[in-house]
Each structure stands twice: as structure tokens, then as C-alpha cells.
Amino acid sequence: MADSSSINSGSPSFLAAPSRDRGYLLTEQVNPASQQLDQLSTDDLVGLFIEEDLRPQQAVSGARTALSQAVDAIAERLRGRGRLFYLGAGTSGRLGVLDAAECPPTFCSPPELVQGILAGGAPALLRSSEGLEDLESAAVTDLQQRGFGPEDCLVGIAAGGTTPYVRGGLGYARDLGALAIAMACVPTDQAPLPCSIDIRLLTGPELLTGSTRLKAGTATKMALNILSTGVMVKLGKVYGNRMVDVAASNSKLVDRSIRILRDLLGLEREAALRLLECAQGSVKRALCMGSCDLNAEEADALLTVHRADLRSALFSKGMTLPVQDSALPQ
């Protein structure tokens, strides 16, 4: 055991200054179920993870009201000139970037509509840069570089609720009058954050103490799935449960587009492909053309009047989907 003289020798420190004791946070507490984790058989270890991974679903269920409020509030802003930004560090930030990146191919949304901002930028996706999360001002700079404004929405994601980078971003958003939404995996009284909507995903202590890439990360991904998909549903990018704004950018998505047209318009596969080609790959345009006997320009005009809401556009023509008989454009 080192004596006090060697500990206090005055040698230079290679460590960052420690934060205040964070052991009180739910995500930092020791999980009694895993105190013998390193002594378990492989089967028991896997079984323990499976059992604990039921908790993220329960945590998301507990945040139902806040998630509902967030979906409606974000959708309202995005119907105008607003955009949605996810902001975080480490695992939380990477999950935000992932969810944002999946919106354009799924919903054909412009890349700038939903954006992910990660402390440390693109390099931090592949190489851990957690030290960058300690600067509140860095988040402000990152948001300013994206032109973040009062009409926009910010979801600040911090599993432990104490990340200075996220706190700084949320505070900046709130001060601007933008929509500030916090997402954390600890109770509000343990780590309050500046926001107007507070999403708390209480997954409990991790099996590997403090490793919030586990249950906290799983619950965060589930919550982000709900937010982005729910918002896109509200924006009219879904009809029933079909992604009618899918970007048919590869063979898999062309096939999916054809099957949507087949199922909703009652077309054979070859006819569905021809209609998709006439619609220049737009499923929504093709559905308007096929169900209402319109050409591409007429379909676009109809969708424009109804702000790209397919159900509203079809209703104005007395149509609903699925239909049995469709008229292909001449």
C-alpha cells in the first residue's frame, strides 16, 4: 500500500479535475443483482442481462405523458420553419446522431430537418471523446454554427442528467425561446435540467456500474424512436402504418415501395413498378396518381394544397386507401 508521502509527492497529475461526488445518481448506483457479475457462469450472466433489459420498456412506459407532449410540441414547430436537433455526448449523443441519420431514408425528410449534434463532432462517433462533454460553452458554439433559432427544437440527452455540454445547450435553447426538451435516466430531483418538457427514463442502476450504454442507452433509443416516428406521423409522412414518403434509393426500398403500391392500390407488381417510375420514385405521388387518376403534375398540386398530407388530399377527392381498382396515368 502506498504511503502518504508518495501519494502527495507533488508529481504532475494526468487526470482531469474530478466532478463532485456523483454516487447519488440513480445511474451511478450499484446494482445489487450484479455484485457477483465476474463470478457468474456465462448462461447466468446472459440470463441476468435479459432480465434487466426488461426495465427499459418499463422506463419508457413511465415517460408516456412527457413523450406525448414532446411529439405534439415538436410537430407543431416543424409544421412551420422549425427543425429538430438532438444534442448529447458519448453514447447519448451517438444515439441522437443515429436517429437523425435514419430520418431521410425512412421519411424522405431533408437532412437539415432532424439533426444530431455530438460533443466532439464526427470523430467522436468512432473514437470516445467524453472529455469534451465538460464544456457548456461548446454546446452553444455547436448550436450557433447550425443556425439554431427560436423556432427550432432541442432534445438534450444526458443519461446521468449532469453533462455540462447538454446543460449548456438546453439553457441556450430555453433563453432563445426555442423548445427545450430534456431526456435523462435519473429523477428530476437528482439532476434538474433547464427545459419545458422533461423526459425521465428511470432504468435503475446498471449491471456494470455506471455504464449507461446499457439499460439507459436502450431506453434512450426506444424513446428517440417514438419521438421521431411520432413526429413524422403527425407531419403526414405515414399512411396507416406505411412509410409513404420512403426514399426509394436502393433495391430494397424500391421493392418496399412497390409492395406499398400493390397493397394500397391493388396493382400487380409490374404495374406498380411502372407507376412508381411515372411518379419518379415518389410513393406518395404515385398513390395520388393511381387512386385519383392524376398525372404527376396534378398529383403534386393536390399534395401542395394539402401540405403533403396524403390522407387529407385523398379525402378531398372522395378517396381512401386501400382501393380495389386504380387508374394508371395515361
User: Catalytic amino acids?
Assistant: 102, 133
Our separate counts of H helices and E strands in the chain read 14, 5
**DSSP, residue by residue, 266-316:** ---HHHHHHHHHHTTTBHHHHHHHHHHT--HHHHHHHHHHTTT-HHHHHHH
**DSSP, residue by residue, 157-190:** E-TTS--HHHHHHHHHHHHHT-EEEEEESS-TTT
CA gap 101, 38 in Å, rounded = 37
Measured between its terminal Cα atoms, the distance across the chain in Å is: 87
CA-based nearest residue to 135, from 170, 166, 165: 165
Instruction: Report which DSSP code applies to 53.
Output: T
| Residue 258 to residues 253, 254, 266, 279, 322, Cα–Cα distance (Å) | 9, 6, 11, 12, 14
